[in-house]
């Protein structure tokens, strides 16, 4: 494969156009740096000029195939390509925007080349060495980069399609996972909040006038045979003294074991503490969603969890799915302590009053919810394999160490929904 070298600021316009304060559109669709990660957009805010105050950073215009790259902390991967922008899409000045002016370069290939991990790592080193209060880049740090790309635009497009197909499969799995999560939550709400679990005839219990009794603690009616319990009667909380590993420590012992913090995976290490299905609840009482409910994670297999999360498991492990949904409905306000640093302590957590359903209803719920969880886990693990494959292929394809043809049949199978790929 014939390659050529390009300097980014010679083939792109950086920060091509901005909106002026004296000529603002009547509305904008605003994308901030924290709302896109590796080309996945989480939120775009629609703002109206006469109603909303536009953020001072809402200035950069984008067009078809504009690449946006956050200049703050490159390792967080807040970048993407705007292939088909909606009307009046404006992005933060926290992004450098890149618009190709060389028509011999395929935009999607260029995006993948620029977001290659080796480039991201290199930019992160530059950002870390800049004399600022936090790691950040200036546009020229990106513009001065020299990349090696195939001379043939057709070859660029073939490589971009391979990587796009992998990303599309990952995104499809993410959509399926969102639907599965919603399905499990809806089932929980329907059965244990609205009390419309199936009665003996398979009909919704409360709607079909199933017998209810008044509960003085809850100040509401609950189904006959259900009880008020402390959460501690249903769960075990594991008190293992877990030392948080610093980022440098995690990098020194990098492996394949997920390392969990209070709200997400923080990396991978070579040792595990837990080896089963557990529920993680953020220990920090200020960590909650917009409705005041705690941030809760479901983990499985070999894992390391730092000490910023409570590790919970149902005493009857088949009820883990019920406990997972239940804990997500607990108001953080009733279990936090401390005036300066808010914490959720174990005693308060154990003493939360909850409704314990009839055992047979719990069994029926588990028979439905556990297979949903297994599908979720399979899909997440498949995505990890696909992401690993993509990240391995990207530099190999771009350096000409492998060709698209070598993987064509395997990648065709990957692109078909439901087909797993395991790299040998």
**Domains delineated in the chain:** 3-151 (3.90.220.20), 174-372 (3.90.220.20)
pLDDT at 139 > cutoff 50: yes
pLDDT at 117: 86
Query: What are the beta bridge partners of residue 278?
Result: 299
Q: What is the pTM of this model?
A: 0.80
DSSP-derived pairing of the beta strands 79-82 and 45-48: unpaired
Q: Mean of the per-residue pLDDT values for the chain?
A: 88
Distance of CA 363 to the CA centre of its chain: 31
Q: For the stretch 54-81, what's the b/e string if a residue is b when 16 or more beta carbons lie within 10 angstroms of its beta carbon?
A: beeebbbbbeebbbbbbbbbbeebbbbb
Classify the phi-psi angles of 418: left when phi > 0, otherwise alpha if psi is within -120 to 50, otherwise beta: left
Residue entry with tokens 């599309």: 168
pLDDT at 421: 43
pLDDT at 190: 96
Assess contact for 67 and 80: CB atoms under 8 A.
yes
pLDDT tens-digit map of 75-102: 899 999 999 999 999 999 999 999 999 9
pLDDT at 240: 57
Range list of β-strands (E), 11-168: 12-14, 27-31, 36-37, 40-41, 45-48, 58-61, 66-70, 79-82, 89-92, 95-100, 146-150
d(CA 148, CA 5): 4
Confidence band of 414 (pLDDT split at 50, 70, 90): low
Distance of CA 320 to the CA centre of its chain: 22
d(CA 302, CA 277): 9
The fraction of the chain above a pLDDT of 90, given in percent, is 61
Residue entry with tokens 């005839």: 201
In three-state secondary structure terms, 392 is: helix
pLDDT at 248: 78
pLDDT tens-digit map of 34-75: 999 999 999 999 999 888 889 999 999 999 999 999 999 998
Assess contact for 366 and 319: CB atoms under 8 A.
yes
d(CA 224, CA 80): 54
Who wins on pLDDT, 244 or 225? Answer: 225
Classify the phi-psi angles of 96: left when phi > 0, otherwise alpha if psi is within -120 to 50, otherwise beta: beta
pLDDT at 25 > cutoff 60: yes
Q: Which of 89, 103, 98 is nearest to 67 (CA)?
A: 98
pLDDT at 217 > cutoff 70: yes
pLDDT at 423: 43
Q: Give mean pLDDT, residues 367-371.
A: 96
pLDDT at 419: 43
pLDDT at 418 > cutoff 50: no
Confidence band of 371 (pLDDT split at 50, 70, 90): very high
pLDDT at 1: 65
Q: Give mean pLDDT, residues 212-217.
A: 89
pLDDT at 11 > cutoff 90: yes
Q: Give mean pLDDT, residues 8-12.
A: 96
pLDDT at 228: 92
Q: Give mean pLDDT, residues 304-326.
A: 93
pLDDT at 31 > cutoff 60: yes
pLDDT at 413: 60
pLDDT at 98: 97
Burial category of 154 from C-beta neighbours within 10 Å (exposed 0-12, middle 13-18, buried 19 and up) = exposed
Residue 249 token pair: 């420590």
Assess contact for 92 and 33: CB atoms under 8 A.
yes
pLDDT at 422 > cutoff 50: no
């Amino acid at each position: 494969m014939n390659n050529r070298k390009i300097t980014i600021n010679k083939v792109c316009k950086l920060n091509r156009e901005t909106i002026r304060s004296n000529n603002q559109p009547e509305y904008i669709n605003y994308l901030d740096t924290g709302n896109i990660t590796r080309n996945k957009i989480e939120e775009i805010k629609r703002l109206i000029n006469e109603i909303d105050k536009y953020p001072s950073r809402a200035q950069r215009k984008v067009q078809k195939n504009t690449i946006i790259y956050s200049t703050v902390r490159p390792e967080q991967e807040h970048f993407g390509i705007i292939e088909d922008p909606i009307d009046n899409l404006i992005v933060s000045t926290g992004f450098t925007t890149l618009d190709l002016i060389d028509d011999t370069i395929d935009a999607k290939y260029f995006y993948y080349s620029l977001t290659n991990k080796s480039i991201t790592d290199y930019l992160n080193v530059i950002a870390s060495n800049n004399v600022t209060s936090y790691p950040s880049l200036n546009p020229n740090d990106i513009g001065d980069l020299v990349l090696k790309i195939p001379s043939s635009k057709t070859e660029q497009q073939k490589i971009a399609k391979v990587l796009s197909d992998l990303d599309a499969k990952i995104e499809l799995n993410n959509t399926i996972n969102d639907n599965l999560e919603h399905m499990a939550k809806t089932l929980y709400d329907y059965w244990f909040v609205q009390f419309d679990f199936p009665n003996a005839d398979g009909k919704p219990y409360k709607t079909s006038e199933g017998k209810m009794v008044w509960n003085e603690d809850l100040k509401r009616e609950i189904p006959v045979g259900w009880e008020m319990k402390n959460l501690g009667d249903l769960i075990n909380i594991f008190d293992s003294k877990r030392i948080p590993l610093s980022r440098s420590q995690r990098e020194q012992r990098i492996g394949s074991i997920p390392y969990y913090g209070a709200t997400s995976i923080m990396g991978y290490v070579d040792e595990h503490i837990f080896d089963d299905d557990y529920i993680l609840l953020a220990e920090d009482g200020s960590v909650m969603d917009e409705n005041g409910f705690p941030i809760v994670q479901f983990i499985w297999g070999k894992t390391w969890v730092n000490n910023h999360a409570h590790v919970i498991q149902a005493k009857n492990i088949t009820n883990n799915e019920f406990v997972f949904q239940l804990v997500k409905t607990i108001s953080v306000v009733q279990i936090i302590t401390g005036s300066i640093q808010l914490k959720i302590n174990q005693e308060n957590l154990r003493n939360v009053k909850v409704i314990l359903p009839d055992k047979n209803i719990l069994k029926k719920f588990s028979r439905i919810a556990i297979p949903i969880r297994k599908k979720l886990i399979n899909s997440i693990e498949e995505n990890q394999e696909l992401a690993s494959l993509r990240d391995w292929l990207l530099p190999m394809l771009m350096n000409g160490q492998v060709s698209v043809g070598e993987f064509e049949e395997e990648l065709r199978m990957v692109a078909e929904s439901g087909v797993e790929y395991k790299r040998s």
